[in-house]
């Protein structure tokens, strides 16, 4: 019997792979593209925990008939010539991270970007890593605060795909970095940088995190606690007193209770309490996207100013800033510790 060569795909040179993950965006700011994107996103049982037959009727009978057109208009307001801001910036992150890893650690690092919904898909990114002959793989979802609705959903896709592989690389998952010192430092520096650009002092720093239904946390999801920890650590590094910052939750969907207090309702109420200058930061978003550019910096800005607010400052996500790339670099060094990263050790016999 003749067996196949021991040579793996991609040639004799084995590599260390990094799979960088984020939520994703539609392929275009059109109703048809939004319909495809939302159908995939909202059908994920990690995102909507409801009886599948009932949810199918609601999703296809109501939501996908009405929401795509409205969402397309919102995406059109943030779309650039390069495409969706989340995808464009995520690509910049992947390129910068690969250059840093190859230049300072090993030329045999390969970084691929995958999106949980839309393109490039997680499966397509895994295929590229397989073709590159990755024998050690670390997965980094860019969700700082773990939640089953985000991080665990990415893991589901990876596990399902790897079940089809004959040979599986040594695998490590990073399931969150809500309190990583480099992450906290990067956030604090971004706040200090924003404050340094004007002489007007903000009366309140508002940390706005993406919300989830309250029942998810009641069922054991630790997301809420991780959000609280991140905000507390950033506030401590900035030297803020408890009355100088608030933690709120945005982007709720549907009629059931979500994590509170709600960002929009809080901003509407602040001027009547004498707080008329606020800065808003969204630490759970590693990249500026529809939920920060349009929902926070447009919709919630208007809510606050219409209620009597005088100054609204949105502090951008970390995006592809040097501090953010440094944080990812440190995180990956930590999670690849012990792997053979030298040129000689990565060469197959």
Query: What are the tens digits of pLDDT across the range 215-264?
Result: 999 999 999 999 999 999 999 999 999 999 999 999 999 899 999 999 99
Classify residue 201 by its DSSP letter.
Answer: P
- The whole-number average pLDDT for the span 163-189 is 97
At 104-160, the pLDDT tens digits run 999 999 999 999 999 999 999 999 999 999 999 999 999 999 999 999 999 999 999
Q: Give 8's pLDDT tier (boundaries 50, 70, 90).
A: very low
Quote the pLDDT of residue 9.
46
- The whole-number average pLDDT for the span 59-83 is 97
Q: What pTM, to 2 d.p., does this model score?
A: 0.93
Tokens representing 145 are: 């605060």
* CA dist., res. 210 & res. 212, Å (int): 7
Quote the pLDDT of residue 96.
98
| Domain parsing of the chain, residue ranges | 15-177+323-343, 181-315
Matching residue, tokens 């949980």? 116
- At 101, phi and psi to the nearest 5? -65, -45
Q: What number does CATH give the domain 15-177+323-343?
A: 3.40.50.1400
Could you tell me which residues are beta bridge partners of residue 136? Answer: 16, 170
CATH class of the structural domain 181-315: alpha beta
* CA dist., res. 155 & res. 166, Å (int): 19
CB 334, CB 18: distance < 8 Å: no
Closest listed residue to residue 290, CA positions, set 20, 90, 98, 84: 84
Q: Do domains 15-177+323-343 and 181-315 have the same CATH topology?
A: yes
Q: How far is CA 290 from CA 29, 115, 216, 237, in A?
A: 11, 15, 24, 28
At 28-37, the pLDDT tens digits run 999 999 999 9
Q: Give 39's pLDDT tier (boundaries 50, 70, 90).
A: very high
Q: Residue 299 contacts by C-beta under 8 Å, 6 or more apart in sequence?
A: 264
* CA dist., res. 12 & res. 150, Å (int): 36
Q: Give 11's pLDDT tier (boundaries 50, 70, 90).
A: very low
**pLDDT above 90 as % of the chain:** 89
């Amino acid at each position: 019997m003749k067996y196949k060569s021991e040579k793996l795909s991609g040639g004799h040179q084995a590599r260390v792979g990094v799979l960088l993950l984020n939520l994703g965006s539609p392929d275009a700011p059109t109703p048809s593209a939004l319909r495809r994107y939302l159908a995939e996103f909202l059908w994920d049982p990690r995102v909507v925990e409801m009886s599948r037959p009932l949810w199918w009727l609601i999703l296809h009978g109501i939501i996908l008939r009405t929401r795509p057109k409205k969402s397309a208009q919102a995406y059109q307001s943030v779309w650039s010539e390069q495409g969706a801001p989340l995808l464009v910036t995520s690509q910049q992150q992947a390129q910068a991270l690969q250059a840093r890893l190859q230049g300072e650690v090993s030329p045999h690092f390969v970084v691929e970007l995958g999106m949980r919904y839309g393109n490039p898909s997680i499966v397509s990114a895994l295929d590229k890593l397989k073709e590159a002959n990755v024998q050690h793989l670390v997965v980094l979802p860019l969700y700082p605060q773990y939640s089953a609705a985000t991080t665990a959903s990415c893991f589901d896709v990876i596990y399902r795909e790897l079940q089809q592989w004959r040979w599986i690389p040594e695998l490590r998952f990073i399931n969150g970095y809500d309190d990583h010192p480099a992450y906290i430092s990067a956030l604090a520096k971004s706040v200090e940088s924003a404050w340094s650009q004007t002489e007007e002092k903000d009366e309140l720093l508002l940390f706005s995190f993406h919300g989830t239904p309250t029942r998810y946390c009641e069922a054991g999801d630790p997301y809420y606690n991780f959000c609280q920890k991140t905000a507390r650590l950033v506030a401590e590094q900035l030297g803020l007193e408890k009355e100088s910052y608030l933690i709120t939750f945005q982007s709720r969907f549907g009629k059931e209770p979500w994590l509170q207090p709600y960002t929009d309702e809080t901003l509407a109420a602040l001027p009547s309490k004498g707080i008329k200058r606020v800065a808003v930061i969204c630490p759970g978003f590693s990249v500026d996207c529809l939920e920060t550019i349009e929902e926070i910096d447009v919709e919630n800005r208007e809510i606050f100013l219409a209620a009597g607010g005088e100054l609204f400052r949105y502090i951008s996500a970390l995006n592809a800033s040097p501090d953010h790339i440094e944080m990812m670099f440190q995180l990956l060094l930590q999670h690849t510790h012990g792997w053979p990263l030298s040129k000689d050790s990565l060469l197959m016999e």
